[in-house]
Structure 1
Amino acid sequence: MTPQAIEHEVEMLHGILYMVESPDNIVAAHEVIDINKYKITNSPQQLRSIIRQRELKPFVFLNCKN
């Protein structure tokens, strides 16, 4: 592949990943499983606040629904 073709592929991948990794899409595709409270959280507001945390508490997992 030429350097221009590689650069074009990288730009296309960047565009795809930018859309897929948006906060709204991440919230829609994930849920939080809290083993401490035996609770699964699907609420968008709660998911956003949990995802923004620097570290999750022990036994709290971010699970992809796909």
Structure 2
Amino acid sequence: MKRNQRRDLLVLLNNHHRSQEAIDHEVEWLHELLYHVEELENFCKAHEVIDLNRYKVHTKTGKVKLAVLRKDFKAFEFINNKN
């Protein structure tokens, strides 16, 4: 996997008897998992925009994506995790 090799991960293991191959497999699995979680589309599905200027909550992924990618932030507009 070559997508994001510059990621810093701290992996704490509770078992000293794992082989280096097993540890490498675990780290590779974490890279793959984090790649999918950190995609913009998945981020926008898990968040909503609360706009207190207009008293609206935007849950559609397109509106959330526009708010996240905007360079200038509006006052009283918040990105909230749905969880």
Q: TM-score range by the shorter chain?
A: 0.7 to 0.9
Shift of 1:22: 1.3
TM-score, normalised by the number of residues in structure 1: 0.76
Q: 1:8-64 deviations in whole A, cap 9, x for unaligned? A: 433222111111111221111110001111110112221111111124212111001
Q: Which has the higher helix share?
A: 1
TM-score, normalised by the number of residues in structure 2: 0.63
The residue identity in structure 2 corresponding to 1:32 is: V
Point out the structure with max Rg over C-alpha.
2
- 1:1-66 aligned at under 5 Å gives the runs 6-66=23-83
Once superposed, what is the RMSD of the aligned Cα atoms?
1.9
- Call closer, same or farther: CA 1:4–1:27 in 2, change over 3 Å: same
Q: SS at the partner of 1:56?
A: coil
Q: SS at the partner of 1:31?
A: strand
The residue identity in structure 2 corresponding to 1:47 is: V
Q: Which runs of 5+ in 2 are unaligned?
A: 1-15
Shift of 1:3: 5.9
